[in-house]
Amino acid sequence: MAKGYGRPGMGGMGGGINMNMIKQAQKMQQDIAKKQAELEEKEYTAQAGGGVVEAKVNGQRTLLSVTINPEAVDPEDVEMLQDLIVAAVNEALRTAESEMAAAMQKITGGLSLPF
């Protein structure tokens, strides 16, 4: 067997972890935490029914408000209003998710990390 073969950090595969890589990973972790905090505070708005229903959510996926234009209120068609509310809320949540995913991808350079 060759001298030094099989010892940790010597020859072959597996050497040590590069300190620069550790620093980069720590910076990435800090950047991710900072961006997540920013995105959690951000508000996302979406509309449905041509703007008669508007929903606002935050990055924590919390519904903050729903605004309904009085013209959307038809006592004969409550189901349509309910559908518009659901559509607006879901679109606002999709917008928040999409923006958060794009921001994380920008920070991680496309690495697939479990967030």
Q: What is the reported pLDDT for 15?
A: 55
Rounded to the nearest 5 percent, the helix, strand and coil shares of the chain are 50, 15, 30
pLDDT level of residue 10 (50, 70, 90 thresholds): very low
Q: What is the reported pLDDT for 81?
A: 93
Q: What is the reported pLDDT for 5?
A: 52
Q: What is the reported pLDDT for 11?
A: 47
**Domain 19-108 class, CATH top level:** alpha beta
Task: Sort residue 73 into left (φ over 0), alpha (ψ -120 to 50) or beta.
Answer: beta
Integer Cα distance of 66 and 81 in angstroms: 12
Structural domain boundaries in the chain: 19-108
Integer Cα distance of 95 and 102 in angstroms: 11
Q: What is the reported pLDDT for 14?
A: 54
With pLDDT > 90 as the criterion, what percentage of the chain qualifies?
47
